[in-house]
Structure 1
Amino acid sequence: MVDHLANTEINSQRIATVESCFGASGQPLAIPGRVLLGEGILTKECRKKAKPRIFFLFNDILVYGSIVINRRKYSSQHIIPLDEVTLETLPDTLQMKNRWMIKTAKKSFVVSAASLTERKEWISHLEECIRHLLSKMGQQPPTEHAAPWIPDKATDICMRCTQTKFSTLTRRHHCRKCGFVVCGDCSRQRFLMPRLSPKPLRVCNLCYKQLVAAKKESEEQSKTAHSPLVGYEPSSGDDKDTESN
């Protein structure tokens, strides 16, 4: 079905419409073999509060953005390759129902659908596209994922020291490793995590210690793997055979 739609005029027109809705701020989406399979509005859990976002499912990517004028204008385009995606169904909360998590190595976040049926349909179509793409590329599902950020309103105190209370003057920060909401004193360190950013990112003190320890262990293992054999002494070049002839 997807292959049949790939080179059709209707598919090209649908993709062109999505491109025009994002305008100059969006990236071109039309490439050979790409098919737009569906679209819909999902609620995305953001740092401050949950917000509606438009999502477009293609056979190889997931695109989403902010809604300026529905079906006419969108902004803040994000493109996620489906071969990097893993899905996780989540339980309902008092604030949000029909939730699931979209996880990648660079970013993970929670979305919710308007109904249980809609969630099942989204997850079913996403999983089918992911399976087909991974099979086509000969890849295994990804195993590393970024931690989702816990929303600001989830806690009034630092989730590490559990002492500092947040206020207008005491800001909330997020650890880029674990996603916890932490105070400034508990997140003074920065650490380079190349899969997330080319620049060092804010991490909480506990994650910083774990990251430093893991880096040190990795460096020591690398040195051991490339070092000469332990206990081996190179020959001076002289034969010192003491056995009698």
Structure 2
Amino acid sequence: MMELLTFDRENRERIQAVEKSFGASGRSLTKQGRILMGQGRLMKQGRRKPQPKMFFLFNDVLVYGSILLNRRWYKNQKIIPLEDIQLEDMEDGMVLKNQWLIRTPCKSFFVSAPSYEEKRAWIEHIEDCRSSLLQGGSQQTGSTTFAVSWIPDQASFKCMRCFNKFSATNRRHHCRKCGFLVCNSCSKQRAVISHIHPTKKLRVCSLCHTRNEEDKKSRLRGDSSGKTSSDEDEVAASSDEEERDEGEDMIQNYACSSWLDSRMGTWGQMGTYVYPRPISLQL
């Protein structure tokens, strides 16, 4: 009993310390039954380059933010419910090692750990916490529709739709539907992507816009084409899956390029700290 009371006090103090580290802009992390499982620095693939981020794993959410002052101050707090997360192990590139993909309905991104052991520890801890959360019955299984991961800016010097070169005046943009790099002319359309934002219209490329319009027309025609609505949903889902796979293949290949070499620094020397907890304590 004393051991549990001590752990509860220490856990509460750790969570409060994480809250304070995000300053006034951070959201409250204190919640009944919430446990801080561990924390550590990971490299997160950004739009322009990989960036170090501080990650905090709780038994019900994954929190991360940008590092202002190591072990002291962070910003841009992001909170992801574990039931909305899907992990996918990725093979090492020539430069970017120990990486895996974190999928969520609103955003999907690659992260890289300092070592293979830490990578496996992160994946296993996240999966264990998610499994315990869902088995507990307090949460429902999350969305089965996930956002695509964006192609990094440096992955292409041409629009992936019209193949015109990017320049100071012909800027890069990202289609929120397929994640491809496209120019402004090829991404003038906007569409609601419900799993990212339920009402806001987001930038989509010309191809995704055309497919969306064709899908709407097919639904209006009903069964006149001989397809049921479920058939159409399966076709659309298959098309989305193909786009996602194509985009991830491009990112995976790009992770092998030499531009990441100077970004990795000495991350292999950084560690992840996992907080101990009593064996009798239930998640």
* Alignment TM-score, normalising by the size of structure 1: 0.84
Question: Who is 1:234 aligned against?
Answer: none
Question: Who is 1:205 aligned against?
Answer: 206
Where is the helix percentage greater, Structure 1 or Structure 2?
2
Question: Who is 1:243 aligned against?
Answer: none
Shift of 1:186: 1.3
Taking structure 1 as reference, are residues 32 and 160 closer, same or farther at Cα in structure 2, changes over 3 Å only?
A: same
Query: Which one-letter code corresponds to 2:189 in the other structure?
Result: Q
Shift of 1:47: 0.4
Query: Which one-letter code corresponds to 2:128 in the other structure?
Result: E
CA distance in 2, matches of 1:42, 1:167: 32
Question: Who is 2:46 aligned against?
Answer: 46
Question: Who is 2:60 aligned against?
Answer: 60
CA distance in 2, matches of 1:220, 1:132: 45
Taking structure 1 as reference, are residues 150 and 86 closer, same or farther at Cα in structure 2, changes over 3 Å only?
A: same
CA distance in 2, matches of 1:28, 1:69: 20
Question: Who is 2:274 aligned against?
Answer: none
Question: Who is 1:232 aligned against?
Answer: none
Query: Which one-letter code corresponds to 2:87 in the other structure?
Result: L
Shift of 1:219: 4.8
After superposition, the C-alpha distances for 1:140-179 in whole angstroms (9 at most, x for unaligned) are 4642100011100011111122x21112221000000010
Gaps of 5+ in 2: 230-283
The answer as to 2:158 corresponding to 1:160 is no
Between 1:60-69 and 1:140-149, the stretch displaced more is 140-149
Q: CA RMSD in A?
A: 2.2
Task: Judge conservation of contact 1:104–1:145 (CA < 8 Å) in 2.
Answer: yes
Query: Which one-letter code corresponds to 1:147 in the other structure?
Result: V
Shift of 1:93: 2.1
Shift of 1:218: 3.9
Query: Which one-letter code corresponds to 2:210 in the other structure?
Result: K
Alignment size in residue pairs: 221
Gaps of 5+ in 1: 226-245
Sequence identity (%):
49
The answer as to 2:150 corresponding to 1:149 is yes
- After superposition, residues 211-222 of structure 1 pair within 5 angstroms as 211-221=212-222
Query: Which one-letter code corresponds to 2:103 in the other structure?
Result: K
Question: Who is 1:16 aligned against?
Answer: 16
Task: Judge conservation of contact 2:146–2:195 (CA < 8 Å) in 1.
Answer: no
Taking structure 1 as reference, are residues 40 and 219 closer, same or farther at Cα in structure 2, changes over 3 Å only?
A: farther
CA distance in 1, matches of 2:6, 2:149: 34
Question: Who is 1:130 aligned against?
Answer: 130
Larger Rg over CA atoms: 1
